[in-house]
Amino acid sequence: MTASVKTHFKPAFIICAVILLTAAASKEAVIRVFGVHMTKEAIAPQHSFEQFSEAALLPYVVKDKSKIENRDVLESLGTEEYLQWIVEDPTAPAGSPTRYGSIFITYYTGNPDMVPHVPDECYVGGGNLLQGTETLAVDIPIQSRPEKIAFQYALFTRTNKEWMKDETFSVQYLFHANGDYCGSRTEARWALGSNWFCKYSYFCKVEWKFYGFDSFGLVYPDRSQTLEASRKLLPLLLSELERNHWPDRQIFKGPNE
């Protein structure tokens, strides 16, 4: 019997092997008994974003619906379930920096990557300079119930090449992950990682920004104007997502939650 074989028959080695095998078997048993789902299944939206109701956003009027034609860009996005609209608020003054809004919504499901795409990084990759991010919150009604919704406010600067001047603008975003609103990527990752007892998993990023036009070109709102406009847009947008698109929250939550 060689030395290596003799080593495998030493009591310490045998005890360690037994412990490891027992732990592995126990882990599988615990997972089965408690209904833990380590691998998640995909769950489709109630209805595709292609069927998102324009009327649900009134008084906002949809001015443009963009589709991503470049397959490389679409593959980088990681989903084909998205909505990319430009809307106009006809009740806002003509030169208001919040008269127009850009809405970009993406949906991921199954075993999605842990929230890779956020404006903080994507806009910088497009040549903009990130000035900073801040968590803001608005008290709004969603489907007639009061909600305090947190979101990220990312402030950027870019140079207008035509006028050779700096422009400052903001992009806002939040997540809805497994039935919960999440005000940051960290919160969304926590919601995904702690979803042990449901066999499904998804997250959705909701991104928006405001702008307008005056006699000199594009104009952007400041922080307070952005908050005010968000209080107007979000109840309409999120209510419709809850009502007709996101999966039923009760699939992920108990009957008393």
- pLDDT of 38 reads 57
127 C-beta neighbours (distance < 10 Å), count = 9
In a domain, 85, yes or no: yes
Number of domains in the chain: 1
In a domain, 95, yes or no: yes
In a domain, 18, yes or no: no
In a domain, 126, yes or no: yes
In a domain, 127, yes or no: yes
In a domain, 9, yes or no: no
In a domain, 4, yes or no: no
- pLDDT of 75 reads 87
Reported as half-sphere exposure (CB side, CA atoms, 13 A), residue 151 has a value of 29
- pLDDT of 11 reads 65
Q: Which residues of 153-168 are buried (b: 16+ CB within 10 A; e: fewer)?
A: bbbbeeeeeeeeeebe
- pLDDT of 32 reads 44
Could you tell me the residue range of the domain that residue 114 belongs to?
A: 49-250
Which ranges of the chain have pLDDT less than 50?
Answer: 5, 18, 20-35, 37, 256
Q: Does 59 sit behind a cis peptide bond, omega within 30 degrees of 0 on the bond before it? A: yes
In a domain, 39, yes or no: no
